[in-house]
Structure 1
Amino acid sequence: MKKEIKILAVLGVILFSFFAFKPLEIKKTIVIDAGHGGYDVGKDLYGFEEKTITEAVAKKIKELNNDANVEIVLIREGDISMELKERVSIINNLKPDLVISLHVNSNSNMQANGVQAFIPSNETFKDKSKEIAEIIIDKLTATGNLLKRNTTEAPFYILKNANCPVMTLEMGFLSNEKDRNYITSEKGQNEIAAKILEAVK
């Protein structure tokens, strides 16, 4: 009997140690930069403004997040003007795990459509940025509502100056009727937000 009690006591200590010292999941900070804002409307076509679309999707990403280990930080909350330098300063002070700068595309060729990502060319963050960008694009295009385009290096200010993995995500073409109907709809914006969130968790 005493031997059985000792064995149970040892097992109890082992189980307590396992749960007491189980490593906690590391919390990730994801910054969402809603492109444009205030006097800078971005693309402005068919009665839709880029700044409104990017802000709506950014807010939905934050609202949909229910993962305690993922913190979503919005750079722009509301229709306000922000300089690129100010955005980068916020990013680098936060030291996030990832930055997604949301934008929408347009083209004189109204047939051009789809999701595209731009990433930095510096060696420190290029590979990780590309890896996550491609996961996001795969998620966004899996439903068939958006065409998959490429991931390309670009010399954009935020890409060059953010000290972390970062991308500019073009969520679709405002100049293309199919894309426009999707990215300006409540359903489309909810799906885009959910897929981005799913990809970064």
Structure 2
Amino acid sequence: MKTKIKILAVLSIAVLGFMAFKPLDKKVVLIDAGHGGYDVGKDLYGFEEKAITEAIARKIKEQNNNENVEIVLIRDGDMSMNLTDRVTIINKLKPDLVLSIHINANSNMKANGVGAYISSNKTFYDESKKMAEIAVDKITSTGKLSKRQINEAPFHILKYANCSMVHLEIGFLSNENDRNYITSEDGQNEIASKILESLN
């Protein structure tokens, strides 16, 4: 309970600090590194989803040199955050877009590629779908990862976020080719670069 309160206090300070200095003329994009803390996500071959998503999220922020885009990390560090906490942060910050980064896995080791999920909420549907298509196209443009479908999903964070949002599934830990790429420094840097391209 104390840990929970501490995390919420830190997040509240971060949210309030950002709102006080929120740039009025910039596109604000929140990057949600999936999982974290005790929730490792997919865990295969010595790799944990939470570590990969955090690494890619950090690289997106570090590589950003577009003065018109402000990148904000929802999870900055290996902390446990439930979906309600994430939605609270999103709706307080009121960003232009949220990209939630995840890694896939399947019992079929041939399953591979980059896909996305969006909400069926009509208010944000068109913009979310457009951004999902652009992001998937950019990430797969290198030929290192194949393209998968963009589907609607009733995920909690998609359902309750009051803004355009894309849940990205970037590669499969269960697929050798995908795994080698998404766990490498070069691969993660390239993915981050392509995601930034999709925001321009």
TM-score of the superposed pair, with normalisation by structure 1? 0.87
Report the counterpart of residue 110 of structure 1 in structure 2: 109
Counterpart position of 2:123: 124
Q: Which amino acid aligns with 2:198?
A: A
SS of the residue 1:107 aligns to? coil
- Give the distance between the partners of 1:90 and 1:157, measured in 2 at CA: 14
How many residues matched? 177
Percent identity for Structure 1 against Structure 2: 70
Match in the other structure for 1:48? 47
2:115 counterpart letter in structure 1: Q
Secondary structure (helix, strand or coil) at the match of 2:123 reads: coil
CA root-mean-square deviation:
0.9
Aligned to 2:76: 77
Residue 26 of structure 1 deviates from its aligned partner by 3.4
Alignment TM-score, normalising by the size of structure 2: 0.87
Deviation digits for residues 29-77 of structure 1 (CA, Å, limit 9, x no counterpart)? 0000000000000000000000000000000000001112110000001
**Structure 2: gaps spanning 5 or more residues:** 1-23
Indicate the SS of the match to 1:52: helix
Deviations 1:140-183, CA, capped at 9 Å, x for gaps:
11110000000000000110000000011000000000000000
In the alignment, does 2:172 pair up with 1:179? no
Match runs of 1:1-201 below 5 Å: 26-201=25-200
Distance 2:140 2:197 in 1: 13
Q: Distance in 2 between matches of 1:100 and 1:127?
A: 15
Amino acid at match of 1:147: S
Distance in 1, Cα, partners of 2:95 & 2:38: 27
* 1:99 match: secondary structure: strand
Runs of 4+ in structure 1 over 6 Å off: none
Q: How far apart are the structure 1 equivalents of 2:36 and 2:26?
A: 29
Q: Cα deviation per residue 1:55-113 (whole Å; 9 max; x = unaligned)?
A: 00000000001112110000001100001100000000000000000000000000000
d(CA) in 1 for partners of 2:99, 2:69? 14
Q: Any idea what SS the aligned residue of 2:122 has? A: coil
Residue identity in the other structure for 2:82: E
